[in-house]
Structure 1
Amino acid sequence: MTTQPFDGDPPAFGAAGRLYQAFYGAAQGIISHSLLALFARLAIAGVFWRSFLNKIETNGIFDYVQVINDFEIERSLIKVPAFPITIEASTFAQFGEGGMFELPLIPGGLAAIMATTGEGVLPVLLVLGLLTRFAATGLIVMALVIQIFVFPTNAHFWGTVALWLIPLFYLVGRGGGTISLDHVLSRQLAR
């Protein structure tokens, strides 16, 4: 892997400019595309995976009780899907007629299954770095559907969806990097 020449500002301001260029040139050498792609994949996968876990039945690991305003609330440090994977009735209700996530032209039950499947499968592909561009494209479509049909406000776009789209567009444009199954498989198939 070759290091890209420093693409920052020219070393203006004498010694301070040279120090700036040396520091950020070194940072650019350390923070490679592969490292950025890995971080982008993990970060955005976590967002959609947590949404997936909210739509299905789960089992908790390391359960504990938290007291909030004199109410005991059961919590888990880690949630994992309960098998067989079962979509909760509340998820179907949210996508059904009059529900918060009701979509035009798509029946509520089908929309609930599609959204849950997308949020369950695509993040796993991103974490593995397998079919990275495809998975990121699928999540872009989901993010845009959420923006256009569920929460069509500027505040939601700039506060949430724009932050999702940045890593997703990066992954579509640049791929999963060398720390991915895409890279490993493409090298194996090239032999």
Structure 2
Amino acid sequence: MSTPQNLKLPIPDVLASAICAANRLIQRLAQPWLVQLVLRLAIAVPFWKSGILKWHGFLQLSDTAIDLFTQEFQLHLPGGPYPFPAPAVVAFLSACGEVTFPVLLVLGFGTRFAAAGLILMTCIIELTVPDGWPIHLTWVAMALAIAAWGPGRVSIDYLLGDRNARW
């Protein structure tokens, strides 16, 4: 007869094997080039969606975009909030950045520049919508990762020679 001390439970071994197999699968799927591509797409989407709504035609801002920067958006600085200086110019620059930077990111062209532009834009957005910091922090983290590790193999920058990924 077996004593309880001699019984070997197969469940921990099966569980350990399943965890190891899952880890190997995740490591195979989460290749750096794929992670870099997904980061570029993930941060491009919200900026593109916001930017495209600001245009009424080619280089023609919608009235709504100008109204937002004139009447709604305020800079939340100490002693403020304060209105945006030159709201039509700020609206135009914002709309240009929100459309141009995502396109650059998706193509992987001027990727680090585009990521830096989105970091700057996110800082300004944070001053405008301070309660949005959880999502803004996520955007900055994604843009910093792109700036630090580069566009990855699936990019025009890589084809042009930007292979300076920092690991």
Q: Same fold (TM over 0.5)?
A: yes
Corresponding residue to 2:59 among 64, 79, 85: 85
- Counterpart of 1:54 in structure 2 is 53
- TM (normalized to structure 1)? 0.69
RMSD of aligned C-alpha atoms?
1.8
Which sits farther off after the overlay, 85-94 or 14-23?
Answer: 14-23
Which has the larger strand fraction?
Answer: 1
Q: Secondary structure at 2:120's aligned position in 1?
A: helix
Is 1:29 matched up with 2:28?
yes
Q: CA deviation at 1:163?
A: 2.4
Residue segments in structure 1 that go unaligned for 5+ positions in a row: 1-12, 58-81
- Counterpart of 2:144 in structure 1 is 169
- Counterpart of 1:100 in structure 2 is 72
Deviations 1:64-94 (CA, angstroms, capped at 9, x unpaired) = xxxxxxxxxxxxxxxxxx4x33101221121
- Given residue 64 of structure 2, which amino acid in structure 1 is its aligned partner? S
Question: Would the aligned equivalents of 1:94 and 1:102 in 2 still touch at CA under 8 Å?
Answer: no
Corresponding residue to 1:136 among 104, 108, 115: 115
- Given residue 23 of structure 1, which amino acid in structure 2 is its aligned partner? A
Q: Secondary structure at 1:146's aligned position in 2?
A: helix
Deviations 1:154-183 (CA, angstroms, capped at 9, x unpaired) = xx111x212222321211111110000010
Which of 1 and 2 has greater Rg?
Answer: 2
Deviations 1:46-75 (CA, angstroms, capped at 9, x unpaired) = 110110111111xxxxxxxxxxxxxxxxxx
Is 1:157 matched up with 2:136?
no
Is 1:184 matched up with 2:159?
yes
Q: Percent identity?
A: 30
Q: Secondary structure at 2:109's aligned position in 1?
A: coil
Runs (4+) of structure 1 exceeding 6 A deviation are none
CA distance in 2, matches of 1:85, 1:109: 13
- Counterpart of 1:121 in structure 2 is 100
